[in-house]
Chains A and B, each alone.
Chain A
Amino acid sequence: MDVLSATGLARRFGERTAVDDVSFGIAAGETYGLLGPNGAGKTTTISMVCGLLAPDSGTVVINGDTMATDRCPAKTHLGLVPQEIALYPDLSGRENMEFFGRLQGLSGARLGERIDSVLELVGLADRGGERTDDYSGGMKRRANIGVALLHEPELLILDEPTVGVDPQSRNAILDGIADLQSSGMAVLYTTHYMEEAERLCDRIGVMDEGRLVAEGSTAELVSLVGEHPVLRLEGDGDLRVVQSRLAVLDGVIDCTSAEGRLDVVAQESAVVLGEVLQIAEHNGVRITAVSVDEPDLEDVFLHLTGKALRD
Chain B
Amino acid sequence: MASSTLTLAGNGIRRGFRSRSLLLMGIVGPLILGSVLALAFGSGGPTISIGLVNLDDSELSSGIADGLADALEGSQLELTRIIADDPGDLSDVERMVSDGEIGAVLVIPEGYGASVTATPETLRVIGAGDNAIASSIVSSIARSIAAGTDLQRAVVAGFVAAGVDPSPVLDDGPVEPVISAEQVTFEGRFDAPLYFGPLAIFLFLGLGVTARTLLRDEHDGMLARIRSAPVSTRDVVAGSAITVIAMGALASTAVILVSTIVFGASWGEPLEVLVVIAAFVVSIAGLLGLIVGIAATEAQAESWTNVIAFTFAVIGGSFFGGALLPGILGTIGTMTPNGASMRALIEVGPGGQSLGDVWYLLAWLFGMGIVGIIVGARLFARRLR
Which residues of A does B touch, CB under 8 Å? 47, 50-54, 69-73, 75-76, 78-80, 82-86, 88, 90-91, 95, 99-100, 102-105, 147-148, 157
Contact = CB atoms under 8 A, between A and B. Distances in A.
Given A71-B232, A99-B7, 7 more contacts: A50-B224, A54-B385, A69-B385, A75-B231, A79-B228, A83-B221, A85-B220
Contact of A85 (B4, B19, B221, B385): B221
Nearest to A70: B232
B230 A47 contact: no
Contacts of B228: 50-52, 75, 78-80, 157
A82 B221 contact: yes
Contact of A69 (B8, B11, B14, B233): B233
Interface in B5-21: 7-8, 11, 14-15, 18-19
B142 to A, nearest CB: 54
15 contacts: A53-B385, A69-B233, A75-B229, A78-B228, A79-B228, A82-B224, A83-B221, A85-B220, A86-B221, A95-B14, A99-B7, A103-B8, A103-B230, A105-B230, A148-B225
Contacts of B4: 71, 102-103
A52 B225 CA distance: 9
Interface string B333-374: 000000000000000000000000000000000000000000
B235 interface: yes
B236 to A, nearest CB: 10
Given A52-B227, A70-B232, A103 B18 contact: no
> Among A52, A72, A91, which residue has the most Cβ atoms of chain B within 10 A?
A52
A100 B225 contact: yes
Contact of B230 (A73, A80, A83): A73
Contacts, number: 82
A83 B223 CA distance: 12
B230 A76 contact: yes
B71 interface: no
> Among B4, B227, B229, which residue has the most Cβ atoms of chain A within 10 A?
B229
Nearest to B234: A70
> Among B220, B224, B226, B235, which residue has the most Cβ atoms of chain A within 10 A?
B224
A108 B124 CA distance: 67
Contact of B231 (A47, A88, A103): A103
A71 B231 contact: yes
Closest 6 A/B residue pairs (Cβ):
A84-B221, A82-B221, A80-B228, A86-B221, A103-B229, A86-B225
B225 A71 contact: no
Interface of B: 2, 4, 7-8, 11, 14-15, 18-19, 220-222, 224-235, 384-385
Contacts of A147: 225
Nearest to B235: A71
Contacts of A82: 221, 224-225
A56 to B, nearest CB: 11
Contacts of A86: 220-222, 224-225
B15 A80 contact: no
Nearest to B385: A54
A227 to B, nearest CB: 42
Contacts of A75: 228-231
B225 A70 contact: no
Contacts of B225: 80, 82, 86, 100, 147-148
Contacts of A148: 225
A190 to B, nearest CB: 13
B18 A51 contact: no
A84 B229 contact: no
Contact of B7 (A47, A69, A84, A103): A103
Contacts of A51: 227-228
A70 B11 contact: no
A72 B231 CA distance: 8
A71 B5 CA distance: 12
A90 B224 contact: no
Contacts of B14: 91, 95
Contacts of B226: 100, 103
Contact of B229 (A47, A69, A85, A104): A104
Contacts of B234: 70
B7 A70 contact: no
Contacts of B384: 52-53, 69
A247 to B, nearest CB: 44
A144 to B, nearest CB: 9
Contact of A47 (B2, B19, B220, B224): B224
A52 to B, nearest CB: 5
Nearest to A78: B228
A71 B15 contact: no
B3 to A, nearest CB: 8
A71 B224 contact: no
Contacts of A71: 2, 4, 230-232, 235
A101 to B, nearest CB: 9
